Amino acid sequence: MTRITLHKNEEKRIKSGHPWAFSNEIREVAGEDTGPGAAAELYDAGGGFIGCGHYNPRSLIAFRLLAHRREDLDSVEFYEKRIAVALAHRRALYPAFATFRAVYGESDFLPGLVVDKYGDRLSVQFLSAGMDRRRDILLEALHRLFAPAGIIARNDVGVRLLEGLEERVEVLAGEIPDLVEMEENGLRFQVNLREGQKTGGFLDQKENHLLLKGVCGGKAVLDCFCYTGSWAVHAASFGAASALGIDISARAVAQAAGNAELNGLAGRAVFEECDAFERLRSLHHEGRRFGVIVMDPPAFVKSRKNIAEATKGYLTVNRRALELLEPGGYLITCSCSYHMGREPFRDLLAQAARLARREVRLVTARSQAPDHPVLLSFPESEYLKCVVLQAVG
């Protein structure tokens, strides 16, 4: 097995539980196989064994730790056991659910692997060279544990480029229909596993959708960046007088309308294809007001270098949303960008309130659903912020 030795004093973070070693922390790489995805053992500068994992000389994240003891990283059994533990955790969380995130990368000690279960279909992502190199091994483990009707690889994500991998979508096993139906909180949704966002749907918001219950009854609700309508459909099901979803994607709006109809809510949940930034402005000019507004945009912050630009975008949409709130109304606002920290996000919301000349109070703050667990030694695993504010004046 390839042997990787760190520079002096570079082992502290990874020995504390963080699963990555960066290329500039590595002093020496020795072995017959030093190519992308090679199985490797990691040692500190004094020769002490740290653990084993996957090595990629093409990536800034040069080593991803899988185990603190020696393991056979090219055996089906190793990955089957790891995935089985992750699956058991989800079964305990959601015993009646057929749709959930079954494997969440580093948080399940399988860095570079994501597995989402949509009924009897799996949508997977091989985000590192190590996992991509072992796709056949991983597929065998998934077949043993899930016996799925189909598996699709949603490898159309930019992080693969950083690993020296190409972006692509491919069906790896069985059949993947154009639309797959899933259930969430007693509601039915159709998701596109081939072309939808992320792996097809947003499974991380399923518990946050319940925040609408009890606050939207009899009120007008606005769902910005609605995608396929999850927030708006939930609001209508919880008794909203009306729910308007807006999104720039014609395909998403059509699918959202179909999801409303699927649940018998087409009369109360309606959708518009438009630019959310512009529509927020025009709604203000029209004098429209809403009792609840949901702001769940795509990730504005793709990397640290565009934080300033992204902050401006978050500030603009939240200020405009607060201007549209009725007195006593609620803003449920989210950021799915890891680089937008929890405290900076709260600070910009406070600034948005000042610009909108609204007095607001924090009702609650949430994160992602527990099938996307956060590894405390790996802060990168917590990315979702969901904040509920009430306009008190």
Q: What is the pLDDT of residues 234-254, one digit of tens each?
A: 999 999 999 999 999 999 999
Q: Dihedral (C-alpha) 153, 159, 163, 168: value to the nearest 10 degrees?
A: 30
What distance in Å separates the CA atoms of residue 86 and residue 139, rounded to the nearest whole number? 16
> How many CA atoms are closer than 13 Å to the CA of 392, on its beta-carbon side?
7
pLDDT digits (tens, 9 = 90+) for 69-83: 999 999 999 999 999
Mean pLDDT of 123-142: 98
Q: Interhelix angle for 230-237 vs 250-262, to 10°?
A: 30
Question: What is the strand order of the sheet 290-295 is part of?
Answer: 269-273, 242-247, 220-224, 290-295, 325-335, 385-391, 360-366
The span from the CA of 335 to the CA of 314, in Å, is 8
Pull the structure tokens for residue 284.
Answer: 């203000």
Query: What is the pLDDT, as a whole number, of residue 307?
Result: 77
Residue 1 has pLDDT above 90, yes or no: no
Confidence category of residue 337, pLDDT binned at 50, 70, 90: confident
Name residue, tokens 């020795």.
30
Around Cβ 16, how many Cβ atoms within 10 Å? 8
176: its two tokens:
């993947």
Q: E strand or H helix at 160, and its extent?
A: helix 159-162
For residue 157, pLDDT over 70 is answered with: yes
Cβ-contact 198, 313 below 8 angstroms: no
Structure tokens that stand for 195 in this block: 């072309």
Amino acid symbol at 292: V
What is the number of residues in the chain? 393
CA distance 101 to 90: 8
CA distance 180 to 51: 40
Residue 168 scores a pLDDT above 70:
yes
| CB 319 within 8 Å of CB 355 | yes
The whole model's pTM is what?
Answer: 0.94
**40 beta partners:** 2, 53
pLDDT of res. 302: 62
Residue 325 has pLDDT above 70, yes or no: yes
Asked if residue 348 has pLDDT above 90, the reply is yes
pLDDT recorded at residue 299: 77
Whether 311 shows a pLDDT value over 90: the answer reads: no
pLDDT of 301 > 70? The answer is no
Residue 173 to residue 151: CA distance in whole angstroms: 5
Amino acid at 68: H
Q: Considering the candidates 52, 216, 224, 336, report the single residue annotated as catalytic.
A: 336
With 0-12 / 13-18 / 19 or more C-beta atoms within 10 angstroms meaning exposed / middle / buried, residue 193 is buried
CA distances from 240 to 10, 213, 229, 283 (A): 55, 9, 14, 19
The mean pLDDT value for 285-300 works out to: 93
- Identify the band that residue 143 occupies on the pLDDT scale cut at 50, 70 and 90: very high
Joined together, the tokens standing for residue 157 give 């994500």
Residue 336 known to be catalytic = yes
The residue that leads in pLDDT, 300 or 227, is 227
Q: Which amino acid is at 238?
A: F
The answer, yes or no, to whether residue 85 has pLDDT greater than 70, is yes
**Has residue 309 got a pLDDT over 80?**
no
* Rg (alpha carbons) of the chain, rounded to whole number: 23
What is the per-residue pLDDT across 269-282, written as a single tens digit (0 to 9) for each?
Answer: 999 999 999 999 99
Whole-number Å distance between alpha carbons of 97 and 99: 6
pLDDT at 303 over 70: no
Considering only residues 302 and 376, tell me which one the structure prediction assigns the higher pLDDT: 376
CA-closest candidate to residue 44, choices 87, 4, 95: 4
